[in-house]
Structure 1
Amino acid sequence: MKKTAKNSGFTLIEILVVIGIIAILAAIVIIAINPARQFAQARNSQRLSNVNTILNAIGQNMADNKGVWKCGTIYFNASSASTTIGTSGTDLSSCLVPNYIPSGIPQDPNGGTAIDTKYQISTTTTGIVMVCAPLSSESALGSPTPICVTR
C-alpha cells in the first residue's frame, strides 16, 4: 500500500480571494470615515474654540475695566465694518497677551499668521462685539458657513 502525501496550506487562488475581500472592506471603511470631512470638521472646531478664546479675553478685559475696553490706542468703533485681527489690522496682542491669552492670539488652523490671524472683529452700534472666523471653504463640508460669536 502506498501512502499519499497530503499537502497542507493555501493555494494561490485562496490567498488572492482573501486579499481581494480585505481590499474591498478597507475601501468601504475609508469611504465611510471620509478623512477629508473629518479634517475639515476638526479645523472648524478649532476655529470656534479660537473665536471664543478671543471674545472671552476681550470680555475679561472689559470686565476688569468696569465694562469699558481699555487698550492703549486701540478702540472698537461702532460700525458694521470688520477689521482683521493681527499686526496688519487690529493688533490685540499688546492688550490681551499674556494677561488674558497667555499662549498668544490664536491663528486660523488653515494658514493664519501673526500678521493675519484670519479672524475678524467688529462692533455694532449698540456696542456688541463680534469675532468671526473665515468662511469654511472646505468642499468636504458642503456650503460654507461663517463661524461668529458675539458678546
Structure 2
Amino acid sequence: MFKQKGFTLLEVLLVVAIIAILAGIVILALNPAKQLADTNNSQRWVDVNTILNGVYQYSIDNNGEIPASIPNAGDCEGAITYEICNTGSGCTGLVDLSVLTNSELYLTAIPQDPTGATASGAGYHVIKSNNNRITVCAPDAELSETIEVTR
C-alpha cells in the first residue's frame, strides 16, 4: 500500500494563505500608525499641562505675576500663534520662558513636541487672554485632535 510522507502543494498553499490572512487582520487591528499618533498626542497632553503648571507655580511664587514674555492674543492655534522657545538664546520671534527653567526651579527644561519641535522652538504655543488666563496648546496634534489647556 502507498503511504504519503509529506504535504501536497495544495495543503502548503492553503496554510500559507490562511497565515497571510490572519497576519493582515492583526496588522489592521493594531494599526501601528494610529498607535504612534495616539502615543504622540498623549505626550503632548502631558507636556502642555507641565508647561502650564510651571507658569502657574511661577505666578504663585511671584505674587500673581505671570512671565512677561507671554503675549496677549486671541487664538492659540490660529493665524496668530506664539511658539515657545526651547532655549534662552535665539528666541527672536518666539516666547522666551527661560524664567521657568532658570535654576530648574519650575521646569528642568521646556518640553519638546514629539514631531513639531525645531532647533529653536519647542512646538508648543502659549498665549494670555485679557483677563490673564493662560492657554498652552499643541498645534501639531495628530488625528485631528485639539490639544489645548486654559487656566
The letter of the residue matching 1:129 is: I
Q: Deviations over 1:113-138 (max 9, x none)?
A: 351112111011100000010143x4
Instruction: Output the CA distance in 1 between the equivalents of 2:73 and 2:139.
Output: 19
Percentage of matched positions with identical amino acids: 45
Equivalent in the alignment of 1:99: 105
Structure 1 pair 28–65 and aligned structure 2 pair: CA distance change class (3 A): same
- Per-residue deviation, 1:79: 3.6
Structure 1 pair 22–118 and aligned structure 2 pair: CA distance change class (3 A): same
Equivalent in the alignment of 1:112: 117
**Residue 49 (structure 1) aligned with residue 46 (structure 2):** yes
SS of aligned partner of 1:113: coil
CA RMSD in angstroms comes to 1.9
CA contact (8 A) 2:69 2:95 kept: no
Equivalent in the alignment of 2:146: 146
Out of 116-125 and 105-114, give the one that drifted further: 105-114
Equivalent in the alignment of 1:76: 70
**Residue 126 (structure 1) aligned with residue 131 (structure 2):** yes
CA contact (8 A) 1:107 1:114 kept: no
Out of 74-83 and 46-55, give the one that drifted further: 74-83
CA contact (8 A) 1:78 1:126 kept: no
Out of 76-85 and 28-37, give the one that drifted further: 76-85
Equivalent in the alignment of 1:63: 60
- Per-residue deviation, 1:52: 0.7
- TM-score normalised per structure 2: 0.80
- Alignment length (residue pairs): 138
- TM-score normalised per structure 1: 0.80
Instruction: Output the CA distance in 2 between the equivalents of 1:90 and 1:77.
Output: 8
Instruction: Output the CA distance in 2 between the equivalents of 1:79 and 1:40.
Output: 29
Instruction: Output the CA distance in 1 between the equivalents of 2:9 and 2:140.
Output: 53
CA contact (8 A) 1:135 1:146 kept: no
CA contact (8 A) 2:84 2:122 kept: yes
Gaps of 5+ in 1: none
- Per-residue deviation, 1:82: 4.1
SS of aligned partner of 1:85: strand
The letter of the residue matching 1:14 is: E
The letter of the residue matching 1:100 is: Y
